[in-house]
Amino acid sequence: MHVFVYGTLRAGEVNDISAAAVKYRMAAPTLIGTAKVMGRLYDFGAYPGLVLDSEGVPVIGEVYEIDDMLIAVLDQIERDYPGDDALFGSRDVPVEVGGVDVTCRIYPVSSRAVAGMAEIASGDWVAHRRKG
């Protein structure tokens, strides 16, 4: 399975996906590469939220190949429970990595969840956070 991460799950961030795998004694994810999805990125303070939008900006992230068992950990981090109208949901979307479309799990937020939130115009959470 593949996952596109754009915020705190990125390498070196507070919920680094590789560190999460180690913590739960799961196989380490394999970085496939950096990628972009079209959308609008919002600043929730300690983390970003992505609204997928084909007319948005390129949102920068990383694509990893992961063990299927790691999805439960990611769902817990993102609080994505089936049947629960949580802040983050999950979807499988095609993401271009190195000229090849890869179906990736992604954790966007609903457009109603970003009301009043500041948009991150650059589409890059890590660069935005470091400017702080």
pLDDT for the residue numbered 85: 59
Residue-range domain boundaries for the chain? 2-131
pLDDT for the residue numbered 86: 62
Longest dimension (CA), the chain: 40
Q: Please state, in angstroms and rounded to a whole number, the distance separating the CA atoms of residues 66 and 29.
A: 5
Give the H/E segment covering residue 64.
strand 57-65
pLDDT for the residue numbered 120: 98
What pLDDT, in 10s, does the model give residues 3-36?
999 999 999 999 999 999 999 999 999 999 999 9
Helices (DSSP H) in the chain: which residue ranges?
A: 17-23, 70-78, 125-131
* 32, amino acid identity: I
* Residue 63 banded pLDDT, cuts 50, 70, 90: very high
* Confidence check: pLDDT of 87 > 90: no
Q: Which CATH superfamily is domain 2-131 in?
A: Gamma-glutamyl cyclotransferase-like (3.10.490.10)
pLDDT for the residue numbered 81: 59
* Confidence check: pLDDT of 45 > 70: yes
pLDDT for the residue numbered 112: 86
pLDDT for the residue numbered 89: 86
- Please enumerate in sequence order all residues whose Cβ is within 8 A of that of 100, keeping only pairs 6 or more positions apart, or say none: none
Angle at 55 between CA 34 and CA 126, to 5 degrees: 35
3-state secondary structure of 27: coil
